Amino acid sequence: MSDIRKYESFYNKGREKKLTKVEEAFNRFLENRTFEWQSWLYGDPIGNLITVEVEDCPRFGETAYVEMDSARTALMIVDMQTNNCGTITKVITTIKNVLDCARKTDISVVYTREGHEPDLSDATFNKLLRSKIIGNGIGIGDVIPQNGGRLLIRGEPDWDIIPELYPQDGETVIDKAGKGAFITGEMNLILKSMGVTHIILCGILTDIGVHSILRDLNDYGYWVVLMKDGVGSSDLNNHLAAIKSIKMSGGIFGNVSDSQRVLSAMEYVKKCRRKE
C-alpha cells in the first residue's frame, strides 16, 4: 500500500488556474520587467496604480518594477520608538519626508511598536535574561536611571513612538511583544481587514525588527518593498548584509528601493487626486 496520499481531482483545478496565472505573469515580466498588479487575485484597483522601481532584481545590477494599487498599499514604520532610536537618527528625516507625502495620498500608514505588559506576562524568560546581560544588569522591565521609566514596558516614557513621526488620528498602530509582529501581534488580521496587499517598509533595526517583519510579510503573501535609506541599525555590516539578503534569488524576501523612487510614485498619486 502506497503511503503517498492521492488527492481528489478537484484539487487540480485550483492548482492549474494558479500555475496558469503564474505563467502569464512570468511572460509579462520578461516583456516589461514589472511585477504587475493582479486583478484576478486582488480585484480591480480602487486607487491609482503606481509603479516603484526596485534594484538588483531579478539579478544584481538589474532593475525591475513593482506595480501596486495606492489604496491597497501601506507605508509601514517599524519600531521608531524613543528607546530604540538612540543614535540612529539619520533615518528620521527620510521617513518623515515619505510619511508627510503618504498622508496626502490614499496610502495607509501603519506603525509597529514593541513593548511588554507591566507584569511581563508576555515576555519570555530567555528574552528577559539576554536583555539583562546586554544591559549590564538593566533589562526589560527594569527602571532606567536616566528617566525613571521601565525599559520596553507599554505606557512608559521611552516606549512610545518618537514625536517627529507620531501617529495621527486614523493611522494604525500594531503593538507587539517580539521582534516580529505575527506571532505576538495581530498584524495579518489587521492588514487583511484594511485590504492591504503591498507594503513600503521602513524603520529600525534593519537586521532585527525590520527583517523579522519583512520575512513574515513575504511568507504571508504580501508584496514588500524595503526603503533602504529609511532603515538603520547599530551595526553597519549587519545592516548591509540584511539589505543584500533580501535581493538574493531574485528577491527572496521582497524588493529594495529608496525614498526618492518611493516619493516619485507617491507624487503621482497626489497629482491624480488633485485632478479628481
Ranges assigned E (strand) in 2-88: 34-35, 49-55, 63-69, 73-78
38-115+159-275: CATH topology: Rossmann fold (3.40.50)
Per-residue pLDDT, 2 = 57
Residue that is written with C-alpha cell 504587475 in the block: 36
Q: Residue 8: left if φ>0, alpha if ψ -120 to 50, beta else—which one?
A: beta
- Give the whole-angstrom CA distance, residue 158 versus residue 174: 17
Residue 172, C-alpha cell as written in the block: 494604525
Phi, psi dihedral angles at 61 (to 5 degrees): 95, -10
Tell me the per-residue pLDDT of 241-254, one tens digit each, with 9 for 90 and over: 999 999 999 999 99
Neighbours of 30 (CB within 10 A): 8
3-state class of 107 per DSSP? coil
Question: What does the pLDDT read at residue 276?
Answer: 65
pLDDT 10s digits, 168-180: 999 999 999 999 9
Residue numbers in the chain where pLDDT is lower than 70: 1-4, 274-276
Exposed/middle/buried for 221, CB within 10 Å: 0-12, 13-18, 19+?
exposed
Q: Domain residue spans in the chain?
A: 38-115+159-275
Distance between CA atoms of 211 and 78, rounded to whole angstroms?
A: 10
Position 14 scores a pLDDT of: 78
Identify the pLDDT of residue 275. 66
Length of the chain: 276
Q: What is the pLDDT of residue 184?
A: 76
What is the pLDDT at residue 183?
Answer: 84
Q: What is the pLDDT of residue 12?
A: 74
Cα distance between residue 215 and residue 135, in whole Å: 27
